[in-house]
């Protein structure tokens, strides 16, 4: 196995999936945002986005908080410290591979 392939194989699989990568990249630049914003920016459908978020939450990269804004339910999303670290590591790993 070449060094490049080895570097690619060591990339975080949870973040490597394009949909999840978009979500993590977006969340890395904000303190928190809601489900609607991520839905708009990624142009995914609600089901797809929910499943990606569930996977990221399971990995401990994203924190999901169900709350209300007035009487309207709101789902707040935040990248955890582990998420920030994983994204940074992924970017460095990708840069090193290419």
Partner 1 sequence: MNTEVLDYAKRPKRYQNIDGTGEMVVGLTVLGVALAGYLEALLPKNSTTWMRVAVVFASLAVAVCIAYGTRRAIKGYITWPRTGYVAFPRHGKSWWVKAIIVRIIALIFAVGLAYLIKSRHIYLNWNLSPTEWNPRVIILIVVSVAAYPIWIARMGGGYRWKWLVLVFMVLGLTRLAIRAPEDFGQWARPPVLFIAILWLMSGAGTLYSYVRHTKPEIE
Residues that bind partner 1 (CB under 8 A): 21-22, 25-26, 28-41, 69, 72, 74, 76, 91, 94-95, 98
Could you give the C-alpha distances from 46 to 39, 78, 89, in angstroms and in order?
Answer: 7, 18, 28
Q: Least Å distance between CB 54 and partner 1?
A: 19
Strand partners, 64: 77
Q: Least Å distance between CB 94 and partner 1?
A: 6
Which two tokens mark 37?
A: 């914003």
Q: Least Å distance between CB 20 and partner 1?
A: 11
Four-point Cα dihedral 29, 53, 82, 93, nearest 10: -70
- Residue (39 or 59) nearer to partner 1, CB: 39
């Amino acid at each position: 196995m070449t060094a490049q392939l080895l570097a690619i194989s060591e990339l975080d699989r949870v973040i490597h999936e394009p949909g999840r990568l978009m979500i993590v990249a977006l969340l890395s630049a904000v303190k928190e945002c809601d489900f609607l914003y991520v839905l708009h920016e990624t142009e995914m459908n609600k089901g797809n986005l929910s499943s990606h978020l569930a996977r990221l939450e399971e990995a401990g990269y994203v924190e999901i908080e169900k709350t209300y804004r007035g009487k309207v339910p709101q789902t707040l999303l935040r990248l955890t410290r582990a998420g920030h670290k994983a994204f940074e590591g992924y970017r460095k790993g990708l840069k090193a591979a290419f």
